[in-house]
Amino acid sequence: MTNTPFSGSRYPEKWVKYIELMVDGFTLPKIAKRLEIHISTAFYWRHKILNALGTHGFNQLEGIVESDETFFRESCKGREVIHREPKKRATKDAKPGISDLKIVVVVAQDRNGNIIAKKAGTGRVKATEIDAAIGSYIPKSAVLCTDTAKNYKKFARIKGLKHEPINDSKKERVRKGIYHIQHVNSFHSRLKTRMRRFQGVATKFLDNYLYWFRWLELGKHLSLEKQIEHMLISACQKSNYTTVEILRSA
């Protein structure tokens, strides 16, 4: 029998309801209250589902591929902080601007709506980190469209990609009538709005939340019923051996 995120659970009747609440954007406390389960159970169910969805990987990008990075504050929720002073919510980082206290998320999107969003180190992202995050999903036939940052120029050279940089400092928005990074920047904006509801995502689980948001974006034109059905089927499609112990030790 295929292992699913809920294999071994004593509450099989709550699977669909949990996913319905998850797709609807309910917070963990509200889910726990609705389903009469402990909040830690709600948390582990969430990440077992997201790990299962993550096993499907990403689609290859093609054609014009927009890419840019965005940043999130480092969060050590659930871990002892030893490399810096602990910080309280809503306080500023000790280091202003882009620093090693900021987690880089590289996003790439093609004009067919395929999206990749992955963690890629801290601080100023390097070309090698961009390559590690998205390089394997961009074929040489694609056209890379980014801002004028040197790291993307170097990445394009590493991959042998045609590169069309947009010079925002000169108020350039669209180049040659078709090249721009408006889709990926719009994705950044919606991602940041979504993430605010979680009041700080633990960095160790950030990729799970990125995959979750990407999944919601790809299915946003579906009805709520179809989204729930799709998530349930996708979560149970492949064997998944993520356990509570694995999540605790992450």
pLDDT at 78: 52
Residue 93's pLDDT is what?
A: 59
Q: Which amino acid is at 53?
A: L
| pLDDT average, residue stretch 6-18 | 70
121: left (phi over 0), alpha (psi -120 to 50) or beta: left
Query: Which pLDDT score is estimated for 82?
Result: 43
40 or 233, which is more confident: 40
- Whose CA is closest to 106, among 184, 15, 5? 184
Look over the chain and give the mean of its residue pLDDT values, rounded to a whole number. Answer: 85
pLDDT of 69 > 60? The answer is yes
Query: How high is the pLDDT of residue 154?
Result: 96
Edge-to-edge strands, sheet with 102-110: 115-122, 102-110, 64-73, 143-147, 162-166
Domain ranges of the chain: 12-57+206-248, 64-205
3-state secondary structure of 65: strand
Residue 57 has pLDDT above 90, yes or no: no
Distance from C-alpha of 110 to C-alpha of 64, rounded to nearest angstrom:
6
- Distance CA(215)–CA(56), nearest Å, equals 11
Per-residue pLDDT tens over the stretch 130-179: 999 999 999 999 999 999 999 999 999 999 999 999 998 888 889 999 99
Measure the CA–CA gap between 78 and 205, rounded to whole angstroms: 11
Is-contact 19 49, C-beta < 8 A? yes
* The two three-digit tokens of residue 188, written as one number: 């950044």
Q: Which pLDDT score, from 0 to 100, does residue 232 have?
A: 83
Is the per-residue pLDDT at 66 higher than 70? Answer: yes
Answer yes or no: is pLDDT of 198 > 90: no
- Render the burial of 15-46: b for 16+ CB within 10 Å, e for the rest: beebbbbbbeebebeebbeebeeeeebbbbbb
SS3 (DSSP) at 105: strand
